[in-house]
A = this chain, B = another copy of it.
Amino acid sequence: MEELKRIKLFAGCSDDALERLLESPCRRQEYPAGRRMLNAGDPCRALMVLVEGQAEARMIGEEGRELLVDHLNAPMLLAPAFLFATPNIVPVEVTAVTDCVVWHINREAFFEFMQQEPSVLRAFLEELSAKGHFLSGKMRSFAVKGLKNRVFEYLEENVNITSVADVAQQLGATRPSLSRVLSEMLGEGLVVKDGKGYRKA
């Protein structure tokens, strides 16, 4: 399918090589908006490629606390960092936000494919590394930073805060807590109001 060519991972590889990959056992699956695509604890035996739609990755804690880990916008890979892991388990749940289309590509076929296509191998390694970078950054935020610093960090990566409730989930805080911190930062001149939201001062 030409859908797959849009993803960076397969950008540099030849058409017939890609066709050979698709001859291996793999399938195309559609998910309606709101549908769970991956549960925490699920095994991950195929490379999942989100070719259409938007999804969210969330982590759930025992105490009901919930963290919005990442926004997933097509085209991109789902949970690439867990495809070759032991135990082969995803730690997040992935839910479709809009209607989604996902390709499931056989792991072993993909493994051989990478060996034959250096550009794909390179891109996949970069993808995994990016995930590592992403996760270690998150970990750092939560482990050694207070909420105010996380807000600051958020405003550097994203332009502004439009939905306090949403961002609170991403920062691992409750809405009233974030609201309070934003008020304080407003008073300290660290942020300014931007229409209905907030923006870096």
Contact = CB atoms under 8 A, between A and B. Distances in A.
Given A85-B130, A91-B133, 14 more contacts: A60-B144, A61-B149, A63-B144, A65-B145, A81-B128, A86-B129, A89-B133, A91-B140, A115-B115, A125-B128, A128-B128, A131-B132, A132-B135, A135-B135
A133 B128 CA distance: 11
A contact face: mostly helix, strand, loop, or mixed: helix
A2 interface: no
Interface string A109-138: 001001100100110011011111101111
A175 to B, nearest CB: 16
A189 interface: no
Interface residues of A, number: 46
Contacts of A133: 81-82, 85, 87, 89, 91
